[in-house]
Amino acid sequence: MEDSLLKLKNTNSKTAFNYGYLLGKMFPYIKKVLGRAVILFLLAIPLGLLDGVVAFALRPYMDFVVNGNETQVYEFQGHTIYLQAFFIKFIPYAIVCFALIQGLLKYLCNYLSDWTGNTMSNALKMDLFKKLTAMDTKFYDLNSSGIVLSRFLSDPDQASKKLIETLKTFILSAFELVALVVVLLVNSWKLAVIGVGVMALAITPVTIIRKKIKSVSNATMVVGGNMTTNFNETFAGNKIITAYNLQDNQNNKFAKQIKQQFNLTISLTKRVGWMSPIMYFVCSIGIAIVMNYGNSLILSGEMTAGSFASFVTSLLLLYKPTKTLGLTLTNIQGTFVAMSRVFELFDLMPEIKNRKDAIELKSVGKIEFNNVNFEYEKGIPVLKNFNLDVMPNETIALVGNSGGGKSTVVNLIPRFYDVVSGSIKINGIDIRDYDIRSLRNSISFVFQDNYLFSGTIRENILMGKPNATEDEVKNAIRLAHLEDFLGTLPDGIDTVVGERGASLSGGQRQRVAIARALIKNAPIVILDEATSALDNESEAIVQKALDNLIQNRTVFVIAHRLSTIHNANRIAVLNEGELVELGSHSELIAKDGGRYRHLYEMQFGSVKV
């Protein structure tokens, strides 16, 4: 098996620069919101121009109102307009109008960018989640929950919301910049050359540090993923942590991660933090030069005071869009990194999938293992030339040393993993030729530690058959010997069990799992150490429930306690991945020096045939 196809990498510099590829991948999501996104970007243009309008308006205000007098007039189609009076009357209305337009544009832009960003992000998240549930067992073996979670918690947002936000900001700032530069040029092209020149000088450092920000952001992501894993493990392993006093261990691990994160943040601040002060400094020099030169232009009459005020205001306002434009370049880079991480997950392919012409598995006959070889990791064989035929409605027990491969054998039947060589056949047809859903629909699994989902007991049972009738539920409860227990609960079957079924005892959880398997009514039943976590008393009642479950079905039962497998039709003994003995209890126990007899003697001291 090739791990690299299923294992998520921590950083993705490789595809992060492949803009065309990423945008192509992103296109279906962009298409969903294209109309509104275009409106958003169009609205960002006038919003960007508004700052320029303010700066431009300062000029007539200064020249005609502050510095002007009543005699300044403007002849318009035979009318004489007194400029001072006109502006004094006009300005209050203009301010209100301006605020109204600006407010409306801002509101529309915010609405549209939230709408488009969230729509895209949700579509991405939905597809990511589908991808996650479609992945096979090996994917979950290879990737830690933290790494996977981090792909969900921030990457889709970064790849979509931030993309829209950044594009909007880019357009807005670009037009703001253009408008302000126009105002500068209109007022004095000579001063404008100086001002813009200095500004250009001031933003060069932004482009230099972009790369640094990217690498740190990737590293921060990795640390964040490890932290999430740590959180999850603290939850899932809380009993072990308490029992072994591992709190300090966990704390130290977390402290290390926090420290790493801190160092990354600080290293970024150290390298990037000087940028803003330097930009201010360079700009202040620019403004000083402009002031100095501007003064002489005013004194020589080449420029009016209003023109100069308008110019300086534009120059000061120019700082913000210039800096923002620099940052949008960094942000765009960030969204591409996020996209590359999202699409890395998309590009992972489950190894186990349906053949094109897969056939439906309808009824289950003979199950055959033919020369099955299997390994989890390349070069470490776990099953070696395993052969076994199981007849319909036969109960076959798998016994043997720990690590011998018993769980592996049964995990191959629902195709949690695929064989490396050889084949498993049902009704003489390779299980890889069957539709996977129909194959898995034919199998009920009860494990040693059964996962119950947060929700009610009823919901957990119904997972075996979502459309089951009330009678079917009742029947499953009765056969699983759950009636008495549910009778003691105030909410009965509608009692909410905690996450992972934490509020139930081991035996109770086991019987809920058996009810789930019973209601599924599948022809193949697999019991992997289904009773080994229980004491003798609860084992007795769970055993009764299991006896109901396995009637008239093909059953694979794995148990360490050999007393539970007496009744199996045949017993298969596995040792280090090889089938070493096969036969009924009485046949195997009669074999002098036999493996099964040895195991039996170890458990019970002497043989009772």
Ligand X SMILES: Nc1ncnc2c1ncn2[C@@H]1O[C@H](COP(=O)(O)OP(=O)(O)OP(=O)(O)O)[C@@H](O)[C@H]1O
Tell me the window of 251-259, 386-394, 407-415, 519-527 that interacts with Mg ion (CB under 5 A): 407-415
Indicate the residue among 141 and 435 with the shorter CB distance to ligand X.
141
Does position 135 interact with ligand X (CB under 6 A)? The reply is: no
Whichever of 103 and 403 has its CB closer to ligand X, that residue is: 403
Confirm or reject binding of residue 346 to ligand X (CB under 6 A): no
In our burial notation (b when 16+ CB lie closer than 10 A, e otherwise), range 181-195 reads bbbbbbbbeebbebb
- Of 196 and 409, the one with the shorter C-beta distance to Mg ion is 409
CA proximity to 162, closest of 109, 113, 126, 215:
113
Residue 135 CB, nearest approach to ligand X (Å): 14
- Read off the amino acid at residue 474: K
In the complex, least distance from residue 532 CB atom to Mg ion, rounded to whole angstroms: 10
Closest contact distance (angstroms) between CB of 409 and Mg ion is 9
Q: Is 507 in the site for ligand X (CB under 6 A)?
A: no
What does 404 bind: ligand X, Mg ion, none (CB cut-off 5 to 8 Å by kind)? ligand X
Q: Considering only CA atoms, which of 107, 197, 189, 178 is closest in space to residue 325?
A: 178
The span from the CA of 120 to the CA of 23, in Å, is 13
Size of the site for ligand X (CB under 6 A): 11
Three-state SS for 555?
strand
Of the candidates 224, 231, 234, the one whose C-alpha atom is nearest the C-alpha of residue 154 is 224
Give the nearest distance from C-beta 449 to ligand X in angstroms.
Answer: 12
CB of 414 to Mg ion, least distance (A): 15
Say whether residue 330 binds Mg ion (CB under 5 A): no
402 near ligand X, judged by CB under 6 A: yes
Q: Which of 219, 382, 504, 517 binds ligand X (CB under 6 A)?
A: 382
Asked if 188 and 295 count as a contact pair (C-beta separation under 8 A), the reply is no
Binding site partner of 403, from Mg ion, ligand X, none, Cβ cut-off 5-8 A by kind: ligand X
Please enumerate, as own/partner, the contacts of 261-266 that have beta carbons within 8 Å and a separation of 24 or more. Answer: 261/220, 261/223, 261/224, 261/227, 264/216, 264/219, 264/220, 264/223, 265/220
Rounded to an integer, what distance in angstroms lies between the CA atom of residue 66 and that of residue 48?
A: 27
3-state helix, strand, coil in the chain (%, to 5): 65, 10, 25
Could you say whether residue 554 binds ligand X (CB under 6 A)? no
* Piece of the chain touching ligand X by CB under 6 A; list 41-49, 402-410, 426-434, 546-554: 402-410
List 225, 404, 464, 507, residue binding ligand X (CB under 6 A): 404
Q: Is 330 in the site for ligand X (CB under 6 A)?
A: no
Residue 523 CA to residue 84 CA, distance in Å, equals 95
Residue 147 or 526: the one with the smaller Cβ distance to Mg ion is 526
State the binding string over 405-444 for ligand X (x if CB under 6 A, else -): xxxx------------------------------------
List the single partner that 326 binds among Mg ion, ligand X, none, CB under 5 to 8 Å by kind.
none
Helix locations, 135-154, DSSP H: 137-142, 145-153
Which of residues 135 and 181 has its CB atom nearest to ligand X in the complex? 135
d(CA 431, CA 437) in angstroms, rounded, equals: 11
Q: Would you state the structure tokens that stand for residue 387, as one six-digit string?
A: 């052969």
For 137, 356, 447, 547, the CA distances from 451, given in Å and listed in that order, are 15, 32, 9, 21
Q: Which amino acid is at 217?
A: S
Which is closer to ligand X, CB of 155 or CB of 375?
Answer: 375
String of DSSP letters for 465-496? -TT--HHHHHHHHHHTT-HHHHHTSTTGGGPE
Q: Which is nearer to Mg ion, 169 or 407 (CB)?
A: 407
**What minimum distance in Å lies between the beta carbon of 539 and ligand X?**
17
* Largest pairwise CA distance in the chain: 127
Binds 402, which of ligand X, Mg ion, none (CB < 5 to 8 A, cut-off by type)? Answer: ligand X
- Tokens at 293, concatenated: 């030169």
Give the bridge partners for 497, in sequence order: 455
Part of the chain binding ligand X (CB under 6 A), chosen from 245-253, 397-405, 420-428, 589-597: 397-405
The residue among 361 and 558 lying less far from Mg ion, judged by its C-beta, is 558
Report in angstroms how near the CB of residue 25 gets to ligand X at its nearest. 31
Give Cβ neighbours of residue 320 (< 8 Å, ≥ 6 apart): 173, 176
Q: Cβ of residue 609: shortest distance to ligand X, in angstroms?
A: 25
CB of 328 to ligand X, least distance (A): 45
Please say which residue, 140 or 254, places its beta carbon nearer to ligand X: 140
Nearest approach, Cβ of 118 to ligand X (angstroms)?
A: 38
Q: Is 141 among the residues that bind ligand X (CB under 6 A)?
A: yes
Nearer to ligand X, 77 or 402 (CB): 402
Q: How close are the terminal C-alpha atoms of the chain, in Å?
A: 45
Q: Does 403 bind ligand X (CB under 6 A)?
A: yes
Identify the burial level of 384 via C-beta atoms within 10 angstroms of its C-beta, where 0-12 means exposed, 13-18 middle and 19 or more buried. middle
Nearer to ligand X, 347 or 377 (CB): 377
Using CB distances below 5 to 8 A depending on partner kind, what does residue 360 bind out of ligand X, Mg ion, none?
A: none
Q: Which of 337, 366, 382 is nearest to 428 (CA)?
A: 366
Is residue 181 within 8 Å of 358, Cβ to Cβ?
no
Among 313, 407, 510, 531, contact with Mg ion (rule: CB under 5 A): 407
Which of 157, 529 has the CB closer to ligand X?
A: 529
Closer Cβ to ligand X, 225 or 405, answer by number: 405
| One residue of 262, 274, 376, 453 binding ligand X per CB under 6 A | 376
Q: Which is nearer to ligand X, 33 or 572 (CB)?
A: 572
**Residue 171: alpha-carbon gap to chain centroid:** 30
Amino acid at position 520, single letter: K
DSSP state of 64: I
Cα distance between residue 135 and residue 156, in whole Å? 19
Interaction between residue 150 and Mg ion (CB under 5 A): no
Contact predicate 399/596, CB 8 Å: yes
Q: Give the binding site for Mg ion (CB under 5 A).
A: 407
Q: Give the binding site for ligand X (CB under 6 A).
A: 141, 376-377, 382, 402-408
